């Protein structure tokens, strides 16, 4: 298969694409891949590091309010479509996959106009502007949350999950040991993180809770985010931190550690949810309020209503509310087991394989 994959700007669009590519190359080693991204997104580092060829287009998003900047955006979109058509004609893909971000809008639109098979993958429960626009033109639409189904043309939609779930499931038998953190493998571990950069409100709440966490029989690993580590350490300078609590700037090789976590506290991004449901990890979700259409709350609610996670909204978050939820799960093995089972029922450990089938369907339908 020859495939162009386009998705850019944030890791939420890029990592599912890379997980799909990894699986596709396992299934079909001769697969040829070209990744098309933006000239300013994270893909400029992540994609080449994965050993993939990257071409970039210059695009930007529309302002939601009336703005002269939108005229520039429209011009850049049309230019990106022109440039994308050139890339597509040169590469001659069998299919083009879009995983979100403004750049995928130009690439998938160009592919559709050239009558190349097209598929989009929507990771969130609330559909982004780009994928709403593309839904009129593409052949197939893959979704990760049932809540997204009604936001697309019904005949094009197939539930597949998020390809990162299949990657996570492959790490389920990790041999990682918490002794490398100075902790015990015999006691349950609560892992807390708010993303690679950290989240100020989560960090402040954990700092408030640490004196009580230090008295607990369970263990806590708290990742502050690289750029906020010094700030947190300063806030803790007069606090006696127990030996059962480890404060670190960042958690390396997260996939190897997640299967060894008794409970997780995290944001409610689509990729995180895919990973935790694939592994069945009891989770306290703290959705980010700083995302489009508040989609992380809707992502989290999909789990909460099935008993697969607890949720604390950021306006309700403080040291006390965090401690109450943490104690409820960490001090009750039966509650954790019940939540883990509910979480795993929602997981889709074959998501990448499902998406590959959708790609092949789009190709086959064009050949009829």
124 known member of a binding site: yes
* Interacting residues of 67 by C-beta distance below 8 A, sequence separation 6+: none
Distances (CA, A) of 79 to 39, 41, 74: 14, 18, 9
10 known member of a binding site: yes
Nearest to 283 by CA among 335, 232, 244, 208: 335
Please tell me the distance from the alpha carbon of residue 213 to that of residue 190, in angstroms, as a whole number: 10
* Interacting residues of 329 by C-beta distance below 8 A, sequence separation 6+: 262, 263, 282, 284, 310, 335, 336, 339
61 known member of a binding site: no
11 known member of a binding site: yes
Q: Is 125 helix (H, G, I), strand (E, B) or coil?
A: coil
Contact 232, 251 (CB under 8 A): no
Query: Could you count the other beta carbons within 10 Å of the beta carbon of residue 117?
Result: 24
251 known member of a binding site: yes
Tokens encoding 35 = 């990744």
The two most distant CA atoms of the chain are separated, in Å, by 71
226 known member of a binding site: no
**Both ends of the chain: CA-CA distance in Å?**
18
Find the radius of gyration of the CA atoms of the chain. 21
269 known member of a binding site: no
- Binding site residues for UDP-N-acetyl-alpha-D-glucosamine, as ranges? 10-12, 124, 196, 251, 296
- Binding site residues, as ranges? 10-12, 124, 196, 251, 296
């Amino acid at each position: 298969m020859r495939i162009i994959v386009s998705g850019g700007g944030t890791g939420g669009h890029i990592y599912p694409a890379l997980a799909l590519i990894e699986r596709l190359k396992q299934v079909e080693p001769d697969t040829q891949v070209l990744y098309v991204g933006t000239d300013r997104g994270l893909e400029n580092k992540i994609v080449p590091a994965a050993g993939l060829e990257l071409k970039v287009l210059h695009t930007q998003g529309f302002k939601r309010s009336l703005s002269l900047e939108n005229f520039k955006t429209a011009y850049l979109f049309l230019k990106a479509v022109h440039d994308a058509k050139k890339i597509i004609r040169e590469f001659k893909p069998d299919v083009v996959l879009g995983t979100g971000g403004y750049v995928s809008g130009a690439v998938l639109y160009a592919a559709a106009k050239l009558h190349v098979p097209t598929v989009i993958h929507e990771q969130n429960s609330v559909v982004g502007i780009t994928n709403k626009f593309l839904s009129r033109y593409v052949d197939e639409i893959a979704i990760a949350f049932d809540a997204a189904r009604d936001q697309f043309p019904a005949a094009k939609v197939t539930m597949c999950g998020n390809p990162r779930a299949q990657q996570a499931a492959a790490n389920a038998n990790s041999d990682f040991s918490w002794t490398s953190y100075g902790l015990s493998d015999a006691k349950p571990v609560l892992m807390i993180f708010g993303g690679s950069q950290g989240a100020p409100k989560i960090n402040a709440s954990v700092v408030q809770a640490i004196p009580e966490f230090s008295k607990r029989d369970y263990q806590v690993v708290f990742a502050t985010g690289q750029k906020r580590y010094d700030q947190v350490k300063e806030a803790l300078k007069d606090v006696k931190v127990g030996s059962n609590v480890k404060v670190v700037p960042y958690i390396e090789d997260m996939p190897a550690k997640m299967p060894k976590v008794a409970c997780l506290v995290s944001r409610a991004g689509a990729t995180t949810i895919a990973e935790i449901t694939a592994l069945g990890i009891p989770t306290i979700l703290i959705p980010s309020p700083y995302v489009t259409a508040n989609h992380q709350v809707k992502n989290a609610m999909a789990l909460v209503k099935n008993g697969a996670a607890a949720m604390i909204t950021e306006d309700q978050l403080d040291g006390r509310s965090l401690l109450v939820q943490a104690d409820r799960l960490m001090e009750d093995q039966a509650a954790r087991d019940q939540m883990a089972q509910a979480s795993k029922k929602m997981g889709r450990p074959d998501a990448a394989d499902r998406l590959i089938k959708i790609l092949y369907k789009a190709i086959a339908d064009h050949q009829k």
